[in-house]
């Protein structure tokens, strides 16, 4: 794993339609959820909007992992990215406004959605393959 994201890793994370976010509850029980995300390359931050178990877990334990990947029957074409991140709930201010803009721009399903908060996943380390 490395700390700097390459241009290809940034592009891939920005374009990926779904990421799987791993968290753990207060007892350390792992949980993984597929979530729609938006990536802010300048801030090295992935934004997700969820109100379920993932959000509850990340409020208790700020450590998260996320994965995006593409599967092909030809394994020589496999590609993906795994990152370790620090989570923070964003409830107001310019960061929430920016996250909402990014999510709405990427997913038409969010056009009429009202956001009370998002979770910011600041990427600390990353590993990728096939990019």
Please give the model's pTM, rounded to 2 decimal places.
Answer: 0.94
**Domain presence at residue 2:** no
**Domain presence at residue 26:** yes
CATH of the domain at 23: 2.30.110.10
Range of the structural domain that residue 95 is part of = 7-129
pLDDT at 62: 96
**Domain presence at residue 1:** no
**Domain presence at residue 56:** yes
Record the tokens describing residue 5, joined without a space. Answer: 């994201």
As a whole number of angstroms, the distance between CA 26 and CA 98 comes to 30
Per-position pLDDT tens, the chain of length 131: 889 999 999 999 999 999 999 999 999 999 999 999 999 999 999 999 998 999 999 999 999 999 999 999 999 999 999 999 999 999 999 999 999 999 999 999 999 999 999 999 999 999 999 99
Domain count, the chain: 1
């Amino acid at each position: 794993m490395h700390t700097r994201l390459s241009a290809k890793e940034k592009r891939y994370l920005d374009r990926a339609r779904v990421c799987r976010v791993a968290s753990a509850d207060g007892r350390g029980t792992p949980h993984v959820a597929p979530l729609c995300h938006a990536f802010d390359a300048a801030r090295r931050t992935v934004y997700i909007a969820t109100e379920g178990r993932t959000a509850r877990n990340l409020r208790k334990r700020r450590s998260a992992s996320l994965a995006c990947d593409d599967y092909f029957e030809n394994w020589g074409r496999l590609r993906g990215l795994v990152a370790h991140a620090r989570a923070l709930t964003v409830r107001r201010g310019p960061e929430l406004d920016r996250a909402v803009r990014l999510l709405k721009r990427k997913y038409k399903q969010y056009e009429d959605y009202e956001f009370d908060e998002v979770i910011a996943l600041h990427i600390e380390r990353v590993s990728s393959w096939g990019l």
